[in-house]
A and B are shown apart, each in its own frame.
Chain A
Amino acid sequence: MKSPPCSITPMHELAICESVLRQVLAVAASQNVRSVARITLRIGPLAGVEPDLVRLAFPIVAAGTACADATLDIEVAPVEVRCQVCDATSSVRPNRLLCATCGTWRVRLISGDEMLLTSIEVMDAPRTSQMEWIPNGVH
């Protein structure tokens, strides 16, 4: 049985989430942003990062920040190799990096080990000096 996710420190996804948060908050701070609505990551199966654990850990590190309500989208990159013998491109399993056409192991990975912060969707701070709420009739 899978153990419950009660102890989250001994996993490197937490460190990854802290890194994502720092990067997103740095972008947000440079853009006069009130909050971050969506964060999109692209993670390949050979990056050594488990998307489910990232989803689990992210709200914990993001609590109390401008990312607290952000939706985390994770695109899983396909594992693809290009054959250095026959030049074919194949989609393969992460632990079987062989050319699907000619069977050789002389291949180059062209997708599958990336881990990228691709984009964020932000809510701009109001143009007025007032904070969040602009009650009717004030302006």
Chain B
Amino acid sequence: MCDVCGCASGADHFHIADVSAAGRASTPVAFVKTARQVEVMQSLLHGNDHQAAHNRAHFGAAGVLVVNLMSSPGAGKTSLLEATISRLNGRLSVAVIEGDLETENDAIRVRAAGAQAVQITTGNACHLDANMVHAALHRLDLRPVDVLFIENVGNLVCPAGFDLGQHRNVVLLSVTEGDDKPEKYPVMFRAADLVTMTKLDLLEAVGDFDPGKAARHLQEIGGTAPVLLVSARGGAGLDAWIDWLDAEVNACRANTLAHPGPHAHAAAAHA
């Protein structure tokens, strides 16, 4: 029995002496105090990861290669898609999920280039997540599609953290942005399976972008992605980009993608 309040619950509670219960001032009041620790050890993005795995299984069953395009706004993601669709000329069937805060502009451009496109407008959200992509899938006919591009919200920070179910991440770095971007945004560039340095036709005009230096910065943050230099406008480097895409599409069809999914985290490597 508790010495203070006389209750039968023992010592496993505490008292708040000055709480007035039903007008009885300073009547001791007790509540049971049993704090205990529960081990969880779960990724903070467990829900998103679960949905992403579901999306990836869906893409695998449909035999569609899914490529997540990420970059800062204006690095040329939509232009690269237009050039890709035009260069493929129907040889591979392309579909695009467009992510932007507002407007249908990019989806309209992609449709004009000759591919199916679904626009997701995120309002103020800074990234796409696996649920948004899943919802968009219901508005796409995946049956004829060979490669689905997800054009993420232009942002070098947030999209890197959210697995969408894609097979490959391609990060674009335009030469007008500066060659130290990988050093400034290591999380994004470490997530890349391929880095394309875009707007190559502006390299001379920009003057101080050194592609070799950018590649070195990429190495120093542990990035292992190959680097391609491309110009969507001039056409330089597009053959190498299409070759990369072909190889990935073939590996996806043959079910031999080297690591189909996002990079393993250190914590998972520990476990």
Contacts and interface: CB of A to CB of B under 8 A. Distances in A.
Interface of A: 7, 9-12, 15-16, 19-20, 22-24, 27, 31, 37, 41-44, 46-49, 77, 81, 94-98, 105, 107-124, 126-127, 132-137, 139
Interface in B22-47: 22, 27-47
Contact of B47 (A23, A41, A94, A120): A23
Contacts of A48: 157-158, 160-161, 187-188
Given A23-B47, A133-B21, A139-B9, A12 B161 contact: yes
Interface residues of B, number: 56
Contacts of B123: 9
A132 B29 CA distance: 11
Contact of A116 (B31, B44, B160): B44
Contact of A135 (B21, B34, B126, B186): B21
Closest 4 CB pairs of A and B: A114-B267, A97-B222, A12-B158, A48-B187
B39 A20 contact: no
Contacts of B125: 9-10, 15
Nearest to A37: B35
B33 A9 contact: no
Given A81-B222, A116-B42, A122-B36, A95 B266 contact: no
B184 interface: yes
19 contacts: A9-B125, A10-B125, A23-B44, A44-B267, A97-B186, A110-B266, A111-B270, A113-B190, A115-B44, A115-B161, A116-B42, A118-B39, A118-B41, A121-B37, A121-B38, A133-B29, A134-B7, A134-B9, A136-B21
A131 B129 CA distance: 39
Contacts, number: 170
B158 to A, nearest CB: 4
Given A120-B40, A126-B32, A19 B46 contact: yes
B266 A44 contact: yes
A104 to B, nearest CB: 10
Given A95-B186, A135-B21, A23 B46 contact: yes
A19 B44 contact: yes
Contacts of B124: 7, 9-10
B101 to A, nearest CB: 8
Nearest to A31: B38
B241 interface: no
B187 A123 contact: no
A135 B27 contact: yes
Contacts of A123: 33-35
B265 interface: yes
